[in-house]
Amino acid sequence: MSIDTGTHLGRYEIRAKIGEGGMGEVYLAEDAQLRRRVALKILPAEVASNQDRMRRFNQEATAAAALNHPHIAHIYEIGESQGTHFIAMEFIEGVTLRDKIHHDKAPLAKLLKYLTQVAEGLAKAHSAGIVHRDLKPENIMVTRDGYAKILDFGLAKLVQPPTQTASGDQALSEVATAMMQQHSLPGTVMGTVGYMSPEQAQGRISEIDHRSDIFSFGCILFEAATQRKAFEGKDTLDSLHNIVHAPTPQIREVNPSAPDELQRIVRRCLAKEPEKRYQSIKEVAIELEELREEMRGPSELHDSVHQTASGAKATTSGQTGIHETMTMGQQSGASSEIERPQQTSSAQIILNELRRHKRGSVLALIGLFLIIGGAVFVWQRFAGQKAAGPARTMKIIRLTSGGRVNNAVITGSTSISPDGKFVVFALTEAGRQSLCMRQVLTGSNVQIVAPAEGEFLGTTISRDSEFVYYVWGDRDNPRAVLFQVPVFGGTPRKVLTGINSPITFSPDGRRFAFVRYSEDQIGGSLMVANSDGSGERTLVTRKGNDIFYSDGPSWSPDGKVIACAAATLKGGLSTTVVEVPVEGGAEKPLTSQKWLLGLHRVVWLGDGTGLILTADIQGTSGTQLWFISYPEGKARRITNDLNGYGTFSLGLTADNSTIVTLQEDPSMQIWTTAVNEPSSLPRQISHGKIDGARGLDWMPDGKIVYVTEAGDSPEIWIMNADGTGSRQLTADTYFKSDPAVSHDGNYVFFTSLQSGTPNIWRINADGSNLIQITSGDSADYAPTCSPDDQWITFISTRSGNSCLWRVSVDGGEPVQLTDKPATRAFFSPDGKLIACGYFVEGAKPPWKIAIVPFAGGQPVKLLDMPQSGNFWAGFWWTSDARAFFYADTQNGVANLWSQPVDGGKPVQITNFSSEFISNFALSRDGKRIALSRGHSTSDVVLIKDFK
């Protein structure tokens, strides 16, 4: 029986009926408490009245509700009101995949993009032990901004009719479900003949597992390529017979233009016996992504948006052995499944760098490169660059699973011993870091450095595999200290102070090299010292806008040169690898390859024939592994998959057989919450992969402007405060960050790399009339608009340090505001003062919250801020100018705090129990806050047969 519009079921108000299906009637409703639209599914009376079926349904639905992934429609609540049982689910605006295939006749490449996203969503569910059981095109929605979302996870049992207790009757229920009348309503839950696995079709209930979903996925792949069902018959029984007995159909017989590789993938998905199918849907996702790369011509841009973050990945923890092995080719990756709140955004990365280097000019400059490089999030590929990968025998072995060891989160600093027996990595729990050693063969773990408040800045295992050398920074060691500890643990021994990178040993193990920054050497120096810390010697120093990266140098096997990542801003940002003679001489490029964004740790192969490194590229595929041949200097990609790889976390065994690194996967979405309304609950309004992580701001009318990767590049979008009406404002494929809206709402200012160097640009609020505001070889970034809409403040390296400057909203000659390194400025309501992060040499801690006159000059007030505070997220003034809000991460959880301007005690204003805050913005009326919050997940992996 239909429910009238305006009826209330609990806190939900019925707005309209949008269909009905096997699960019952479906309504569009408004959640009065959280102010969001939901799909409300009313359970049939015969289901609700059957206690056993309701029990089974609640078990399935509760498990499915725990899933949090950008490509899975979320279940908000399983409820009951006035005798009516319902499920409140995410309401998705878009069309079904069936519509995309048969009505829109979308290109195969586009359909494969959606199905790659679906495979990632399935991988998340399967890792949680949840099987869909009814995967079909109707249960996949494609949103208006290009996201695929899977509906109704794990709920297929709901529509099974009551069965007898005999096992045979129970088995037949699955077939009976399949033969029920089908509906076209998105989200209808029932086993569907055209997509059932053979074990489902035969009623072999006990054999149904995640591989049944893989079979269904193969059916959808076939249909995407041919617009026909794989096992279509004259009637239901004929279709069931074909599923069980008919050979796998040939795609090329229907669509001769389809790639042969797709037929191979479909054939493995559609194997009759589960043991002969892919054993992990993640493998399918990886091979589909590889196929998509191969389908692109050399003149095309990489279709790099995967939007496949693993969501809130907390499925398996404390694994003590090698969990999974995958065999794959050019694109390879295993899912990374841990919370990693400490390193989930460019904001947090710059803070880590600021804590790491502790020296004014260096801090902000290195932070700049990491911000521009995007750290975890700014992953963009060079247009038209075709990846050249290794042989198809490459294997990725997951050494950890669930991202945790002994309940602590894996956070980086990973290395492997030359003999391949030991792997070392850092762990974080409750804001304290420890160091763990894992024996590869036995899977046993040993804590070798006890937890403490501070940060591991890189690890190296000695040539004889006896000792671990680690760089540590904390309040008592602001310049960072190198320690030595036995590989099985013991008392750490201090070796040397003032080290800003992991070390690398000479071939004989008697010396090591490292990078050091100091106030008068802004670009950093490449140094060598004896193994006991004595005999320091400078090899070469970079100055000005030329820098050495701090991720770690590498000593060549012949002992003659040291390779190190280096970057320059002159003529546009670019990074490469240079080699420096050990016995003296000028540095020179080791390769002609240039990376627009970040380049990280470099490791020589043991035979000296090349190097392995990690680099951010122009695209959203993450920080990937590369190989550079030596001495030729030719560069090629080793990985090209859906995950990113660690920066400080890279090691190689002496026989070149195994790489150790981290696989990383971020997930950040936009939430809103009210200010000073305790009863108001935060509300998630976006469901992308990294929404707002690189910046967001409010329009005067309450809309939200933000940066996301909902297309082929990070672009600026705008949406309503409830998440509806999203619209793209820019589409030029260049890196963008830090959108700032003028107070009259006419302009959006932002950082862009369109000129080859970070500069400030401006567009009208409708996305038109792009204008460059600043120019030059120095980097300009992080704009903020004054309340009178006459000025823009921004950070610039024009003076050598990353200081605050201002310029007219129409451009012109910039004026310097501070003579010390600073972070993004935020205006007081009257426009006379700005709040920013400010570096004070010699202070503990050195970074303060500064209140600076907008007219320029020294700070009028300096306030302490927790070391765990996110300076880059900023300091938003309250409307009465008595306080400002900032983000702080305590015990691994980020919340917003209010700091009184008079120096009083900070007050917590949000009460999140998980996740990290990357960015936030206060609405113009000061009543609401928009936040980009989420996490990044990581696991230690071994990569074999990569050459």
What digits encode the pLDDT tens for the residues 879-915?
A: 999 999 999 988 778 999 999 999 899 999 999 988 8
Confidence category of residue 203, pLDDT binned at 50, 70, 90? confident
- Provide the 10 A C-beta neighbour count for residue 108: 19
pLDDT over threshold 90, residue 216 = yes
What is the pLDDT at residue 573? 59
- Higher-confidence position of 343 and 478: 478
The residue-averaged pLDDT of 402-431 equals 85
* Separation of CA 383 from chain center: 21
Per mean pLDDT, which of 180-184, 501-505, 800-804 is the most reliable?
A: 501-505
Residue with token string 């007030």 = 861
Cβ atoms of residues 126 and 175 within 8 Å: no
What is the pLDDT at residue 412? 80
Cβ atoms of residues 456 and 435 within 8 Å: yes
pLDDT over threshold 70, residue 393 = no
Cβ atoms of residues 742 and 700 within 8 Å: no
pLDDT over threshold 90, residue 608 = yes
pLDDT over threshold 60, residue 308 = no
Confidence category of residue 711, pLDDT binned at 50, 70, 90? low
Reduced to 3 states (helix: H, G, I; strand: E, B; else coil), residue 368 is helix
Confidence category of residue 586, pLDDT binned at 50, 70, 90? confident
Reduced to 3 states (helix: H, G, I; strand: E, B; else coil), residue 827 is strand
What is the pLDDT at residue 547? 85
Confidence category of residue 193, pLDDT binned at 50, 70, 90? confident
Rounded Cα distance between 5 and 678, Å, is 30
- Higher-confidence position of 776 and 900: 900
Peptide bond into 631 cis (omega under 30): yes
Confidence category of residue 410, pLDDT binned at 50, 70, 90? confident
Confidence category of residue 341, pLDDT binned at 50, 70, 90? very low
What is the pLDDT at residue 686? 92
Q: Which residues pair with 785 in a beta bridge?
A: 792
Cβ atoms of residues 706 and 696 within 8 Å: yes
Reduced to 3 states (helix: H, G, I; strand: E, B; else coil), residue 276 is helix
Rounded Cα distance between 259 and 621, Å, is 23
- Residue 133 half-sphere exposure toward CB, CA atoms < 13 A: 29
Per mean pLDDT, which of 83-87, 312-316, 418-422 is the most reliable?
A: 418-422
Residues in the chain, how many? 947
What is the pLDDT at residue 493? 95
What is the pLDDT at residue 790? 97
Helix axes of 167-178 and 236-245: crossing angle, nearest 10 degrees: 110
Reduced to 3 states (helix: H, G, I; strand: E, B; else coil), residue 380 is strand
* Backbone torsions φ then ψ of 212, nearest 5 degrees: -65, -40
The residue-averaged pLDDT of 208-216 equals 92
What is the pLDDT at residue 1? 59
Residue with token string 């660690």 = 646
* Separation of CA 423 from chain center: 24
Residue with token string 């990266």 = 549
pLDDT in tens, 534-561: 999 999 998 867 888 888 899 999 999 9
8-state DSSP, 102: I
What is the pLDDT at residue 365? 39
Q: Which residues are catalytic?
A: 134
Reduced to 3 states (helix: H, G, I; strand: E, B; else coil), residue 99 is helix
In b/e form, how buried is each residue of 873-884, taking b as 16+ CB within 10 angstroms?
Answer: bbbbbbeeeebb
pLDDT over threshold 60, residue 316 = no
Cβ partners under 8 Å of residue 28, min gap 6: 14, 15, 16, 17, 18, 37, 38, 39, 40, 91
Mean pLDDT, the chain, rounded, equals 80
pLDDT in tens, 644-691: 777 768 889 988 889 998 887 778 899 999 997 766 789 999 988 789
Cβ atoms of residues 163 and 727 within 8 Å: no
* Residue type at position 299: S
8-state DSSP, 307: -
Q: Which two tokens stand for residue 54?
A: 């309701």
In b/e form, how buried is each residue of 512-533, taking b as 16+ CB within 10 angstroms?
Answer: bbbbbbbeebbbbbbbbbebeb
8-state DSSP, 103: I
pLDDT over threshold 90, residue 345 = no
Rounded Cα distance between 902 and 884, Å, is 11
- Provide the 10 A C-beta neighbour count for residue 167: 12
- Higher-confidence position of 291 and 391: 291
CA angle 569, 647, 298 (to 5 degrees): 70
The residue-averaged pLDDT of 256-272 equals 91
Residue ranges of alpha helices (H) inside 32-104 are 45-48, 51-65, 97-98
Rounded Cα distance between 906 and 274, Å, is 58
pLDDT over threshold 70, residue 317 = no
Of 799, 798, 869, 800, nearest to 835 (Cα)?
A: 869
Q: Which two tokens stand for residue 210?
A: 């995640």
Rounded Cα distance between 342 and 11, Å, is 36
What is the pLDDT at residue 897? 94
Rounded Cα distance between 244 and 231, Å, is 9
DSSP string, 803-818: EEEEEETT----EE--
What is the pLDDT at residue 776? 84
* Separation of CA 100 from chain center: 27
pLDDT over threshold 60, residue 565 = yes
- Higher-confidence position of 340 and 800: 800
Cβ atoms of residues 702 and 923 within 8 Å: yes
The residue-averaged pLDDT of 347-364 equals 34
Predicted TM-score (pTM) of this structure? 0.58
Residue 79 burial by Cβ neighbours in a 10 Å radius (0-12, 13-18, 19+):
middle
From residue 118, give the alpha-carbon distance in Å to each of 54, 113, 136, 142.
28, 9, 11, 10
- Of the candidate ranges 124-138, 731-745, 757-771, 828-842, the one whose mean pLDDT is the lowest: 124-138
- Of the candidate ranges 340-344, 486-490, 494-498, 890-894, the one whose mean pLDDT is the lowest: 340-344
Reduced to 3 states (helix: H, G, I; strand: E, B; else coil), residue 31 is strand
Sheet arrangement for strand 847-853: 826-827, 833-839, 847-853, 861-863
- Higher-confidence position of 394 and 608: 608
- What's the chain's Rg over C-alpha atoms? 28
Q: What is the dihedral of CA 352, 355, 359, 365, to 10 degrees?
A: 20
The residue-averaged pLDDT of 418-422 equals 92
Peptide bond into 845 cis (omega under 30): yes
CA-based max dimension of the chain: 86
pLDDT in tens, 492-529: 999 999 998 999 999 999 999 999 987 655 678 999 99
Rounded Cα distance between 668 and 687, Å, is 8
